[in-house]
A and B are shown apart, each in its own frame.
Chain A
Amino acid sequence: MPSSSGTSRRLPGDADIWVFVVGDMLIFSAYFAAYLFTGRMGSRELFLRSEQHLSQTSGLCNTLILLTSSLFIALCVHAARLGNLRLASRFLELGGACGVGFLLVKVFEWHSKLASGLTISTNAFFMHYYVMTGVHVAHILIGLTFLMVVRRELGGAQAPRMELVEAGGIYWHMVDFLWFMIFSLLYLMR
């Protein structure tokens, strides 16, 4: 066993999930770099004008929803550590519900953009917008799958493996962080 549950401080989760999270963030930063390079350095005017079409309200809503979900997931991991599995499961379900809420807001936002005729091929800004939010949604879906696996682990007959629970939490926090970056870059930089 690589870690003990004694008094020694250890990295939460296991090395594998950190490889995943760090790598994923590096990959995402490539998308951000592409956006900054082609966008703000290239067609500043176009990007500033296009940004006006984004609903800051939706963006803010999504940010708050994800922050809340991260709080729930953190509470879940904490409860699991203390052995309170029923409470951990409830927190996890709440966190997951927020994740689903995020998806609903996002779909509604996309729908309203598409209805106004702003598609992925409208201009370079919207290309980045749809791709980045789309890839982020894929990460949310992966994250929800991860949370379902953790839920199963928490509700199982045997004691849950803490590395798995923590790994789920770490991944979910990463997804939250990535959204925050997207929100800042696409919605807020005016």
Chain B
Amino acid sequence: MSSALEAHPGAASASEAVPTVKNRKLDQWICWWSLPIFYNLFGLIFVYLGKLMPPPRPGLTTDEIVAFIQKNAASMQAAWVLLTLSLGFASLSSGLIIVQMKRMTTSPVLAYAYMAALAVAALPGCLLCTTMFSLAAFRPDRDREIIALLYDLGLLSFVGSLGCFVTQYMVFAIAIFLDKRGIFPKWLGYMSIWGAVTELVATPIWIFRSGPYAWNGLISFWLGTLIFVVWEFCLIVSLFRAIKQQPLDEPGNHA
């Protein structure tokens, strides 16, 4: 077993078998970098190419919906291809967060719940939307009523997939509050509660076609997105700090 490994020059005893990777947190740093890269890509995909953030109004007529799709078909298709290729990388941030959550004094339950909740979220919360819009852009001569249906299904699921994210925010907050080691700061836990409440405030999008609580509304969309962006930014910074402060000789580091 130890023939595959060589002793690290700085090891306390020369017979201590340690992985050859010099930077013992390299895997975590790689995962960490996926976050800013992925979220910038996400912004490019949904804002500039996909034209879905901010989303067009729920109140559009069928003709206006079809016109919107046709006008943006090319850039949308580029967006969804790009997303299809890159969405998998969101799993890297998931893995990193689990590694850090497992350092907490809590049991692995909350880390697993976080992972599972996000695994659920990927489909109804992201891929369903882009698949629906891909279908809408795929055949320009498709029945107009069907295109309008794809439009509704896409945007409603994108803005309105609530449960998975509520669970994600909630278990994350609970873990932070119970953790005696303080891997993440307490205020991040409080911010996660905001995140959960924004999901609650997004519930009216399933009812209203206009106003601040529609899927493009000032509160349900804009405020919700703002809070999400702030939370994500704080998460990225907190993860950076957590990795940096992680002692090198911690057991899990080269398990």
Contacts and interface: CB of A to CB of B under 8 A. Distances in A.
Nearest to A14: B186
A38 B212 contact: yes
Residues of B contacting A: mostly: helix
Interface string A1-34: 0000000000000111101100110010011001
Interface in A88-128: 120-121, 124, 127
B36 interface: no
A54 B227 CA distance: 32
Contacts of A139: 197
Given A23-B191, A127-B213, A134 B200 contact: yes
A19 B208 contact: no
B204 A120 contact: yes
A46 interface: no
Contacts of B201: 31, 131, 135
Contact of B200 (A17, A19, A24, A135): A135
Nearest to B185: A16
Interface residues of A, number: 23
Given A16-B186, A135-B201, A121 B219 contact: no
A16 B223 contact: no
A60 interface: no
Interface of A: 14-17, 19-20, 23-24, 27, 30-31, 34, 38, 120-121, 124, 127, 131, 134-135, 138-139, 142
The list of the 3 closest CB pairs from A to B, nearest first, reads A20-B190, A16-B186, A34-B212
